[in-house]
Structure 1
Amino acid sequence: MERLIITEDGSHSLYSHLFNQQYHSLQGALTESVHIYIELGLRPVLTSATNEIRVFEMGLGTGLNALLAWKLADELKKKVHYTSVEAFPVLPEEASLLNYGSLTDTNYLSKIHQIAWGETHHFSPYFTFRKEKVLLQDFEPEHKHHVVFYDAFDPRAQPELWTEEIFTKIARYSEPEAVLVTYSSKGIVKRALAAAGFRVERHPGPGRKVHILKAIKL
């Protein structure tokens, strides 16, 4: 059972005993996800989109990023097909403890965690969701993606997921000009992304975090 955490903005997170890390920034889980994955990553792409946008997420985790993407798709009335990979899933009973529903005025989180793995689910006229219980190294998507949410645990905990080899694989199934966003701005991450064929940008982070990364597929 993962341990429940209350972060500084009042939103919940979980602590992973397996990886000895929390799933979100202690400065604010909701603040972090909105700032990085929605405002820096998805919203600019979705706002200008004329066709369906395909989002790939590395690390479903608590489901907060998927919830916020669903909410944004419905608000903008823009179609999103969202695929998430998670090898070590949060249990539905653990997810039920999280307060994201009350903070976002949705009931989306329970649906994200309770639906079957490996199947495509039409959650709304604008949001289609699929989750795969598999290691990223073993995953091969059916389609290329326009936006990538890279939300693996810290490179200290999962160094195998922050390599040039992994980002080259991500690049291979990303459309030209696809956007990748991540909370990590470590030098090894920037170098691996650049070597894999991305143009890497540093952006201000949420709260007291100085920098985060946005990378554009060349």
Structure 2
Amino acid sequence: MKREIIITADGSSTIHLPEWNEHYHSKHGAIQEAAHVFIQSGLHHCCQLKSGRNGHLAILEMGFGTGLNALMTLFEAEKLNITVDYVGVEAYPVTPDEVFQLNYADRTDPSSGAAVFKTLHELSWEHAHEVTSHFSLTKRRQFFNAVADENTFDLIYFDAFGPRVQPELWTVPVFERMFKALKYQGVLVTYSAKGSVRRAMQQVGFLVEKLPGPPGKREMLRASKTKV
């Protein structure tokens, strides 16, 4: 499938799939969306929940894609002085040429972003790597329906292509796997607020709340595992 690099409304780039008219990140602002949905509503929220406990988070990203969410999480972990074990699941990795064209490094940390971003994409798959003292990364080349972790993660970034183009990724069986993968009181965040997505989450046991969405979206969802 053809993929092309475009510039979003906040000046950051993303990948566009013309055949599906779908983007890896919001056309209204890739970095703005990642910051709002995954960093503020996910990472910061989990840090508040774990206040008074150890400063460590295990994060699963469903849809590693461009690596933007991982890059922003790495820098945020350093700011918050926490350690993050990050697992990124991706069935179809982006190409080195596509990585080269993405401008996230300059827009997140011009001094070291380029080297870090390059490292994230060059690290071998299926192995854990300590990228910094605050951040380790494991990339798994895997389909969503093959995720079989149990009671492992504090936070899930659910960043699949939208339910309009890949509805099979937003179903009860997939969210059952997400529920099992989370620890008790773990949290899942996603940019989608579609009614069918919310109901699928609730069906497997999540407590789901609607939150204000990032630029260009009225709402997003945050789901919590409040029972075992």
TM-score bucket of the superposed structures, by smaller chain: over 0.9
- 1:180 is the counterpart of 2:181: no
**24-33 or 132-141, larger mean C-alpha shift:** 132-141
Letter in 1 for 2:63: G
**197-206 or 1-10, larger mean C-alpha shift:** 1-10
The alignment of Structure 1 onto Structure 2 pairs a total of residues equal to 218
Give the counterpart of 1:57 among 43, 49, 61: 61
1:96 and 1:114 map into 2 onto residues whose CA distance is: 12
> What does 1:90-101 correspond to in 2, within 5 Å?
90-101=94-105
Moved over 4 A (4+): 17-20
2:47 and 2:134 map into 1 onto residues whose CA distance is: 12
Aligned to 1:8: 9
Aligned to 1:163: 171
Aligned to 1:35: 36
TM-score between both structures, scaled by the size of structure 1: 0.95
Deviation, structure 1 residue 19: 4.8
Structure 2 counterpart SS, 1:10: coil
Structure 1 counterpart SS, 2:129: strand
Give the counterpart of 1:117 among 101, 117, 125: 125
Give the counterpart of 2:92 among 70, 75, 88: 88
- 1:146 is the counterpart of 2:154: yes
RMSD: 1.5
Structure 2 counterpart SS, 1:137: helix
Q: Deviations over 1:49-101 (max 9, x none)?
A: 51421000000011100001111111112010000100011112211111101
Deviation, structure 1 residue 194: 0.4
1:194 and 1:23 map into 2 onto residues whose CA distance is: 26
Gaps of 5+ in 2: none
Deviation, structure 1 residue 173: 1.3
Q: Deviations over 1:163-183 (max 9, x none)?
A: 111101110111111111000
**130-139 or 18-27, larger mean C-alpha shift:** 18-27
Aligned to 1:128: 136
| Kept in 2: contact 1:92–1:110 (CA 8 A) | no
Structure 1 counterpart SS, 2:101: coil
Deviation, structure 1 residue 140: 2.5
**26-35 or 103-112, larger mean C-alpha shift:** 103-112
Give the counterpart of 1:76 among 59, 76, 80: 80
2:56 and 2:138 map into 1 onto residues whose CA distance is: 15
**Percent of residue pairs bearing the same amino acid type:** 39
Gaps of 5+ in 1: none
